Amino acid sequence: MPKLKIASYWASACGGCDVALLDLHERIVDVANAADIVFWPIATDFKYADVERMPDQNIDVTFFNGAVRNSENEHLAHLLRKKSKVLVAFGSCAHMGGVVGLGNLFSRKEIFDAAYTNNLSTENAGLTMPNLETKVPEGKLTLPEFYNTVKKLDQVVDVDYYLPGCPPNPNRIFEVFGAIVAGKLPPKGSVVGASEQTQCEKCERKKSEKKIPGFKRLATAQPDAETCLLEQGFLCMGVATRAGCEHRCQKSNTGCRGCYGPPPGVYDQGLKALSAIASVVDADDEATAKAMVDAIPDPARYFNRFSIAASPLHRRSV
């Protein structure tokens, strides 16, 4: 049997997803035995032109991590879609927009102002801003266009599978890779490498009737390691998040952040968590209830931390 050809690409990403692939450690040898890596910018020296020269559908599986934030990301999404038989949205950014998607609560202008002019550590008296084209004596220099709105991968191209996580758990990556090699992939459009159950269903902390006495923050309080974090008043997205990560956050005594995305059938992960958590605050009159939920300072970016681009409103109205 000929070896599989696989590729991994980072679009608008932090690099953590590629590191998660490397976190397979010695199992990466098993991967290399079963597959040839034909394109992987973080680890190999193939250029975009090498991909462009490939015949269509030349790559068996592409793991695409990162959101689509600029024209370069979008170009590569289209290119890799054309060259791949199977395209996997890998990690929270490709799956739901991820942390990059938080930028959808701002406009491009606001982001540029914060990055290039209007911050304390930047001196930019000449108001130099990124230009798509700059003429220099040697010729013309170009930059990709920075879009106003971040998109998740399937808002740009057709996606076959979703492998969630920020980053995905290496054990799940290896299982999915095993399924690919064995040809045992589920129907197109499935979320792979994650459970259909929520974090709460598999969480080992002690749970009783949910009643939140008031919200606390890790900066000023310490949770005990045994009891449900929500019952102690620490925000946890476990109620609206798929299991599969092996409870990395809860085991380090901090609330789930929701990177594995919503379980099946949920309209929006953030709204589901908002609804579930707010409805169990221990307040039986309007004023107390409002005061208690007002202790959550930033609901949109907490509850949709990884999923603003995937949320029904998608971005702040401008």
Min CB(287)–other proteins separation in Å: 9
Min CB(101)–other proteins separation in Å: 11
- Residue 122 or 275: which CB sits closer to other proteins? 275
How far is CA 212 from each of CA 188, 208, 230, 254, 257, rounded to the nearest angstrom? 40, 11, 7, 16, 18
Which residue, 152, 108, 173, 67, is CA-closest to 318?
108
Cα 19 to chain centroid, rounded: 14
- Strands 133-136 and 139-142: what pairing? antiparallel
- Residue 27 or 210: which CB sits closer to other proteins? 210
Q: Please, which residues bridge with residue 161 across strands?
A: 88
**Helices 27-34 & 170-181 angle (0-180, nearest 10):** 20
- Residue 4 or 274: which CB sits closer to other proteins? 274
Min CB(229)–other proteins separation in Å: 18
- Residue 44 or 279: which CB sits closer to other proteins? 279
Q: Using CA atoms, how far apart are residues 299 and 290, in angstroms rounded to an integer?
A: 13
Chain contacts with other proteins (rule: CB under 8 A): 105, 148-149, 151, 155, 267-268, 270-272, 274-275, 278-281, 283-286, 289-290, 292-294, 296, 298-301, 303, 309, 311-318
Min CB(290)–other proteins separation in Å: 4
Min CB(309)–other proteins separation in Å: 8
Min CB(228)–other proteins separation in Å: 18
- Residue 185 or 278: which CB sits closer to other proteins? 278
How far is CA 180 from each of CA 88, 152, 217, rounded to the nearest angstrom? 11, 23, 42
- Residue 45 or 298: which CB sits closer to other proteins? 298
Which residue, 197, 176, 194, is CA-closest to 185?
176
Q: What letter does residue 182 receive in the DSSP assignment? A: T
How far is CA 79 from each of CA 67, 69, 128, 191, 277, rounded to the nearest angstrom? 15, 16, 32, 23, 42
- Residue 207 or 290: which CB sits closer to other proteins? 290
Min CB(25)–other proteins separation in Å: 38
Are 64 and 92 spatial neighbours (Cβ–Cβ below 8 Å)? no
